Amino acid sequence: MILKYRCMKCGICCYEVEKNELGYRKRIPLYPEEVDELIELAKKYEIEFKVIEDLVFPDIINKNILVLTFKIFLDNPKACCPFYDQEEGCTIHEKKPLACKAYPLALKRIDSFNMELSIDPLCNFVSKNYNELKNISLNKIKEIFEIEYPNVERFYRKNKNLILKIRQLEFEKKIKIAREISLDDFNKALKEWDRIEIRVK
């Protein structure tokens, strides 16, 4: 029988996962425009919703922190996404972030500027079918994750476009990213510099 991805609606992916021995920490990345949309939805549903900055670059020409992505801050007792409901599951299914639409396909960050496609082993479906999914070809991934694959492609393109935009701004000498900055200086910049959100389509 051909394996096809079917979400088991266990909700594991909507919870924070503690750091394991590989240093993995689960997070739900959001683009600035997704944050705007989720803030509106949270107001509508009277849900407490907080985000923190995720991928940021310090621009040493203008002394700004460039914010490319945020992540949902899971500071509730259950450490789960505020849009998750025990009975219903995701309550914003149509409007959930691109990262959730692509899941369990994900982008593993190699460094600040590069990433690669991965399948999240923490997903219940993935762990149950691990033997079939390990070392799988790209064509098989497309077959098994028919709906999620186009979303992870959009997710990848969007991340690439963000990085290209940063590189373009650097090329035009409008910004300069501090690539070698001490942790102390970086933390000082995080405290003192203004934020500029970087948005792409």
Nearer to ligand SF4, 94 or 111 (CB): 94
| Cβ neighbours around 164 below 10 Å, total | 12
Shortest Å distance, C-beta 149 to ligand SF4: 14
Nearer to ligand SF4, 86 or 182 (CB): 86
Element (H, E) at 116: strand 114-119
Q: Distance between CA 103 and CA 11 in Å, rounded?
A: 12
Q: Distance between CA 197 and CA 57 in Å, rounded?
A: 10
Element (H, E) at 149: helix 148-171
Shortest Å distance, C-beta 28 to ligand SF4: 5
Query: Contact positions toward ligand SF4, by CB under 6 A?
Result: 7-14, 28, 81, 83-84, 90, 92, 96-97, 100, 103-104, 123-125
Shortest Å distance, C-beta 25 to ligand SF4: 15
Grouping H, G, I as helix, E, B as strand and the rest as coil, residue 143 is helix
Nearer to ligand SF4, 70 or 84 (CB): 84
Shortest Å distance, C-beta 173 to ligand SF4: 39
Nearer to ligand SF4, 105 or 175 (CB): 105
What is the token pair recorded at 71? 């992540």
CA 167 to chain centre: 20
